[in-house]
């Protein structure tokens, strides 16, 4: 089932989600719904709070199939930083420049409960940091300049008016 994506301004996006166990039957539904929603939105990644689910879960697909990350943690981050443009399904209309770690290693459980560790750089490292930010109530408008933040909000309002 395709769920509606909450937009910037909705308090559900600003809640730091605590870690917790996820019931396996419930998890299956959540993952199916998040997958449908990600596909429909043609996004690369989607975090549970974006669809109003306060669980530490995100899904992503970089063109190699869907991956599910439960209770993800950054276990290593590079000292080097990298700037690039980023958009967000919760802020339709534009992109802003965001400075992030150039590389990270993250650890998470998959949908079957197996531990997965992934070394990421470039776009994937950026995606991981973006999605984990969502689980902590942080959004790209918090990580850019005041000027870019204003521009993005204006673009979102324009997009909203159609
Ligand atoms: Zn986002």
140 C-alpha to center of ligand 1: Å?
7
Tally Cβ neighbours within 10 Å of residue 24.
10
Per-residue pLDDT reduced to its tens digit, 29-50:
999 999 999 999 999 999 999 9
26 C-alpha to center of ligand 1: Å?
23
8 pLDDT more than 80? yes
Overall pTM > 0.85:
yes
Which neighbouring-strand residues pair with 74?
A: 106
Residue range 47-71: mean pLDDT, rounded:
96
139 C-alpha to center of ligand 1: Å?
7
- CA distance linking residue 73 with residue 34, whole number of Å: 20
50: left (phi over 0), alpha (psi -120 to 50) or beta: alpha
Per-residue pLDDT reduced to its tens digit, 116-150:
999 999 999 999 999 999 999 999 999 999 999 99
Total length of the chain = 162
Tally Cβ neighbours within 10 Å of residue 159.
13
Query: Angle at CA 1, nearest 5°, toward 31 and 116?
Result: 10
Residue 12, classed as helix, strand or coil, is helix
- CA distance linking residue 13 with residue 6, whole number of Å: 7
116 C-alpha to center of ligand 1: Å?
22
Q: How far is the CA of 9 from the CAs of 14, 50, 65, 154, in angstroms?
A: 9, 12, 31, 13
Supply the DSSP symbol for 49.
G
Question: Where do the domains of the chain lie?
Answer: 11-161
In angstroms, how far is CA 118 from the centroid of its own chain? 16
Question: Which amino acids are annotated catalytic?
Answer: 131
pLDDT of residue 24: 85
45 C-alpha to center of ligand 1: Å?
7
Topology annotation, domain 11-161: Peptide Deformylase (3.90.45)
Percent of the chain at pLDDT > 90 equals 90
Residues 6+ apart with CB under 8 A from 16: 135, 136, 137
């Amino acid at each position: 089932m395709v769920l509606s994506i909450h937009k910037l301004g909705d308090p559900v996006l600003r809640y730091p989600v605590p870690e917790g166990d996820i019931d396996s039957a419930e998890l299956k539904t959540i993952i199916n719904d998040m997958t449908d929603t990600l596909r429909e939105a043609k996004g690369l990644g989607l975090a549970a709070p974006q669809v109003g689910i306060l669980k530490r879960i995100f899904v992503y697909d970089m063109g190699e199939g869907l991956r599910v990350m439960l209770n993800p943690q950054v276990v290593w981050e590079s000292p080097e930083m990298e700037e690039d443009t980023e958009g967000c399904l919760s802020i339709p209309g534009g992109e802003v420049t965001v400075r992030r770690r150039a590389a990270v290693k993250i650890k998470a459980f998959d949908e079957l409960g197996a531990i997965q560790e992934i070394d990421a750089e470039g776009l994937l490292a950026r995606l991981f940091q973006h999605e984990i930010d969502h689980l902590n109530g942080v959004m790209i408008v918090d990580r850019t300049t005041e000027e870019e933040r204003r521009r993005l909000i204006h673009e979102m309002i324009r997009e909203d008016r159609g």
